[in-house]
Chains A and B, each alone.
Chain A
């Protein structure tokens, strides 16, 4: 099991990557951040770029450990959490 000090990997795609200025970062979560929704609120405080990326949360989608997730999905140490716009492939 990952202990509380194990970082999370955060990935950003498309315009979330451009606005945050990074495609990947590792973060260690405060104890009270336990869901995707809480993680978004916490990440949005990291920089003006992050604030811009998460400004309209209805346009942000998420995956936890490569599965689509929603704001209530739990997150914890060692997880890979990806943020991206609604998909536009095909």
Chain B
């Protein structure tokens, strides 16, 4: 039973951990990935806007989670992806995967974020400090990361 949410508001990582593990004594490890808006010196990104395809997004994420559950014995899973305008330093995405041991928890977490990047209908538009804005282009490295699973 996974928790999937697509939302504009921020998420509370501690609260999500607590919700995932509440009342459980069978979990031995939880993998966690948090993606944030990066503002490196070279690209001067001030903010980004995340657009998505509302009728399809949660369904596409559910399919990715189902695939993770097919490959690993997960005891719980949380995927939260924010949409709308986010400024540098803000959280974008949270992935938590719980299992009885660390390896399936860590592998499932990496799998989930790799597939989210290439198989869920989100698009990022970056805004730069000088006011310019451009759509982020898909990277071959992301396709390669998704294909290794």
> Are the chains A and B members of one assembly?
yes
Q: Which residues of A contact B (CB under 8 A)?
A: 11, 13-15, 63, 66-68, 80, 82, 84-90
A90 near B53 with CB under 8 A, answer no
With a cutoff of 8 Å between Cβ atoms, the chain A residues found around residue B35 in the complex are 90
B113 touches A63 (CB 8 A): no
Known: A13-B123, A14-B123, A66-B56. A86 touches B93 (CB 8 A): no
Whether the Cβ atoms of A13 and B135 lie closer than 8 Å is no
When distances are taken between beta carbons in the complex, the residues of chain B under 8 Å from A87 are 117-123, 138
- 6 A-B pairs with the lowest CB-CB distances in the bound complex, closest first: A89-B122, A90-B117, A86-B138, A14-B123, A66-B56, A88-B136
Q: Which of B55, B59, B117, B135 contacts A89 (CB 8 A)?
A: B117
Partner of B138, one of A11, A63, A67, A85: A85
Q: Please, which residues of chain B bring their CB within 8 A of the CB of A15?
A: 135
Q: Are A90 and B125 in contact (CB under 8 A)?
A: no
Q: List residues of chain A with CB within 8 A of the CB of B138.
A: 85-88
Give the number of residues in B that approach A within 8 Å (Cβ atoms): 28
A63-B122 in contact given A14-B135, A86-B138 (Cβ < 8 Å): no
* Alpha-carbon distance A45/B78, docked complex (angstroms): 44
Which residues does chain A contribute within 8 Å of B52, judged by CB atoms? 13, 89
Task: Flag if B93 contacts A90 (CB, 8 Å).
Answer: yes
List chain B residues, Cβ under 8 A from A85.
123, 135, 137-138
Q: Is there an interface contact between A82 and B56, defined as CB atoms closer than 8 Å?
A: yes
Q: Bound state CA distance, A10 and B21, in angstroms?
A: 42
